[in-house]
Amino acid sequence: MKLIPHSRHVLAGALLLGSLLGGATTAQAQSSMPETQRVQVQAQAEIKAEPDMAMLNARLWERTPTIARTENTPSDPQALADARKRLEERTGELIRTLEQAGLESKSITAGSLSVRPDYVHRPVKKDEPPETLVRTQLERPVSLRIDDLDRLPAILDALTQAGVNALDGVTYDLKDRDAATDKALTQALEKAHHKAQLMASTLGVELGPVLNIQETNAPIFAPRMMAMSAEAKQGGSTPEYRSGEITIDAGVSVAWEIKN
């Protein structure tokens, strides 16, 4: 049968109307389906772990002689070379001292050389114009990984003896972070399961299969900075380095179906 143009438009409209009616019928059927009864709980877990390693950052620097600053103050190549030589010698001596203190060479990272101008404002008398002086600072950072915390006091003594210019602090950490975060997450899930079972048994229902699992917050791991006793801070006794404990938090949200 051959359709004339008018008939084609009528047929297309009928098909479209049928599609819309069918979609509406499906939506009505879905809305009339009973909603799955569920119990949903949230749980938090916190574990504390004793650190078993530490990271330490120190810096060495050397400076060229201070000179008056002008618009185009040239750098003295010989002064820069002398400062760099002194810095490299001190860095090498520091590494040797640390190795003698029991630190393995693979645990010592000597960073790259940085060079920057260092401006100094000289005090002036009342009637004198202000004057800015400039010098060049050459710096090397040194990072240490300490796997044996009992060696920490000796290593800090070695750094002091080597004359480091800055000690940026000690951060305590865990060698196996994944194991600690897995433990916190497991405990959070176990707490959620216990809460759901308690609620179900109290209300006289039975838990079905798990419908949904979600982390409300991923395990939070924060390394701990070094702490010292109050007596040591006041200079009343030998410094005591206390690692304390590292706290890891985890949270989950879990939903179970309620059996009919």
Question: What is the per-residue pLDDT across 20-77, written as a single tens digit (0 to 9) for each?
Answer: 445 555 545 445 545 779 999 999 999 999 999 999 999 999 999 988 766 566 678 8
The residues pairing with 63 across neighbouring beta strands, listed in sequence order, are 137
Q: List helix spans (H) across 74-164.
A: 77-100, 152-161
Question: What is the per-residue pLDDT across 129-152, written as a single tens digit (0 to 9) for each?
Answer: 677 788 899 999 999 999 998 888
Q: Confidence class of residue 228 from pLDDT cuts 50, 70 and 90?
A: very low
- Average pLDDT estimate for 212-228: 75
Is 3.30.110.170 the CATH number for 35-49+177-258?
yes
Do 248 and 49 meet the contact criterion of CB atoms below 8 Å apart? Answer: yes
Higher pLDDT, 73 or 260: 260
Higher pLDDT, 217 or 40: 40
pLDDT, position 33: 47
What is the domain partition of the chain in residue ranges? 35-49+177-258, 54-124+132-173
CA distance 105 to 227: 26
| CA distances, 2 to each of 6, 8, 12, 260 (Å) | 12, 10, 15, 57
The residues pairing with 121 across neighbouring beta strands, listed in sequence order, are 132
pLDDT, position 226: 59
CA distance 162 to 153: 14
CA distance 58 to 94: 11
Helix, strand, or coil (residue 236): coil
pLDDT, position 260: 74
pLDDT, position 229: 37
User: For a pLDDT cut of 90, what percent of the chain falls above it?
Assistant: 50
CA distance 62 to 198: 67
CA distance 80 to 65: 9
Enter the pTM of the model: 0.67
| CA distances, 177 to each of 32, 174, 181, 183 (Å) | 49, 6, 6, 10
CA distance 146 to 54: 5
Q: Is 196 exposed, middle or buried (0-12, 13-18, 19+ CB in 10 A)?
A: buried
Do 10 and 3 meet the contact criterion of CB atoms below 8 Å apart? Answer: no
pLDDT, position 57: 92
Question: What is the per-residue pLDDT across 148-171, written as a single tens digit (0 to 9) for each?
Answer: 988 888 898 888 888 899 988 888
CA distance 28 to 26: 5
CA dihedral (202, 207, 213, 214) in degrees, to 10, reads -20
- Average pLDDT estimate for 74-103: 90
Helix, strand, or coil (residue 168): strand
Do 53 and 147 meet the contact criterion of CB atoms below 8 Å apart? Answer: yes
Q: Which CATH architecture has domain 54-124+132-173?
A: 2-Layer Sandwich (3.30)
Higher pLDDT, 19 or 252: 252
- The two structure tokens encoding residue 155: 């290593």
| CA distances, 208 to each of 9, 191, 199, 258 (Å) | 53, 17, 13, 5
| CA distances, 173 to each of 126, 187, 221 (Å) | 54, 21, 9
